[in-house]
Amino acid sequence: MLDSLFKLKAHGTNVRTEILAGITTFLAMAYILFVNPSILGETGMDKGALFVATCLAAAIGSAVMGLIANYPIALAPGMGLNAFFTYTVVLHLGHTWQVALGAVFISAVCFFLLSIFRIREWIISSIPLPLRSAIAAGIGLFLALIALRNAGIVVDNPATLVGLGDLAQPAPVLAILGFFLIVALEALAVRGAVLIGILVVTIVSIVMGFTQFGGVISMPPSLAPTFLQLDIKGALDVSLISVIFAFLFVDLFDNSGTLIAVAKRAGLMDKTGHMPKMGRALIADSTAALTGSLLGTSTTTSYIESAAGVTAGGRTGLTAIVVAILFLLALFFAPLAGSVPAFATAPALLFVAVLMLSGLAEVDWDDITLAAPVTVTTLAMPLTYSIANGIAFGFITWTAIKLLTGKWQELNAPLVVLSLVFVVKLGWFGA
């Protein structure tokens, strides 16, 4: 039955290999169970409900991907998108988390329509590759700043905006050691390096009396505090257009990049570099994002950690189904998630930042017309504490520099139109 459903033999795999691949992928991305409630919880959302929403969103998203597209790709609430949800939309712009969930829902609907009508390819092809790399790197720096703040390594300073925290305190010390441990384990190819790092820091913190131990296993908390609590009407406000666009834009490129990277490693692309069933994969992703917003979590998207399962031999959707089952089993570990302090998840955020910055290696730094917009995009996100602002400044800078240097042929209509929209949105020229 499994062979007929997932075409195991046709993909040169078997049930045992797919199960091991699913376990590998789950271990590589299970850190989201602790990180997502920690980040979104700062908005005032119930952390127990967030834990359940994270588990269910990941399980449903991964199952849909496995059944519809038959790809070994797992999904969960996306890193960067959850930070944007909390620190920009809610804490910085002052919107309620219910409105933020509404914005996630609307962006998911837009993503679904773009996938159905195949407009996605047109949008992606209109955005230069260096800008895409810059956006990923900017999100990485944004996460790094959040990680350093949560660890107490970077603190407020009225004279210089930011300053160095008290490194003699337990939080910074344990966070630094946790980061060193994660990097070392990853370098040694240890499965679940990030998860191990989080758990080790948490255990040490509990043993030394810095953190209260809430237990390990219990029945899942109630989902009621976040379930169907989204405010779609509030999210339709004109001021939230750029927020919805940022959710859509980041998910669009992050998801497409992940799908292509994992499919390439798994040998699922044809000779022309085309990814079969790409449309199905995108529909699965947008469906997962819609479901996640209803459950009460930020945008659900494909995870690059799926590459770990592919490396272990995963080639079909059975791998994603195994991940989905493991996320459902994780529902019973809510007390453990509640025992994880913010400084224990900080090393994971910083490690993800390291991975996201790698895209800058693909930028031609000798071409100043590329280097300048990339630098502006990357730095604007952490320094303005907004992914949306970083995207806006990057688009405007790219368009302006290309026009001023006579390289208008490197521009296209969508890029110019979006740049003009961002100029208006930022309030320039009296708009």
DSSP string, 21-42: HHHHHHHHHTTHHHHHHHHHGG
> Taking the CA atoms of the chain, what radius of gyration do you get in angstroms?
21
| pLDDT tens profile 65-92 | 999 888 888 999 987 788 889 988 898 8
Specify the residue for token string 């000798």: 366
DSSP string spanning 258-312? Answer: HHHHHHHHHT-S-TTS--TTHHHHHHHHHHHHHHHHHHT-S-EEE-TTHHHHHHT
Query: Which range is least confidently modeled, 12-26, 118-132, 138-152, 190-204?
Result: 118-132
CA distance 8 to 14: 6
Q: What is the pLDDT of residue 135?
A: 81
Across the chain, mean pLDDT equals 84
Residue 294 to residue 297: CA distance in whole angstroms: 8
| Least confident window among 130-139, 153-162, 262-271, 280-289 | 262-271
Q: Which of 373-377, 392-396, 413-417 has the highest mean pLDDT?
A: 373-377
Indicate the number of domains in the chain. 1
| 155 bridge partner residues | 163
Q: For 138-164, what is each residue's pLDDT tens digit?
A: 878 888 888 898 889 998 888 888 888
- pTM for this structure? 0.76
* Number of other CB atoms surrounding residue 32 within 10 Å: 27
Token pair recorded at residue 250? 């980041």
| Three-state secondary-structure class, residue 157 | strand
**What's the pLDDT at 61?**
92
Place of tokens 């199960």: 19
Give the confidence band of 431 by pLDDT, cuts at 50, 70, 90: very low
3-class secondary-structure state, position 407: coil
User: Are the beta carbons of 305 and 79 closer than 8 angstroms?
Assistant: no
Position 31 confidence tier, pLDDT thresholds 50, 70, 90: confident
Backbone angles phi, psi at 196, to 5 degrees: -60, -45
What pLDDT is stored for residue 120 in this prediction?
A: 67
pLDDT higher than 50, residue 29? yes
- Contacts of residue 117, defined as CB under 8 A and 6 or more positions apart, other chains included, come to none
324 vs 257, higher pLDDT:
324
Question: Coil, strand, or helix at residue 155?
Answer: strand
For residue 76, the model assigns a pLDDT of 92
Q: Is the pLDDT of residue 211 over 90?
A: no
> Domain range spanning residue 33?
2-430
Residue 54 near residue 329, CB atoms below 8 Å: no
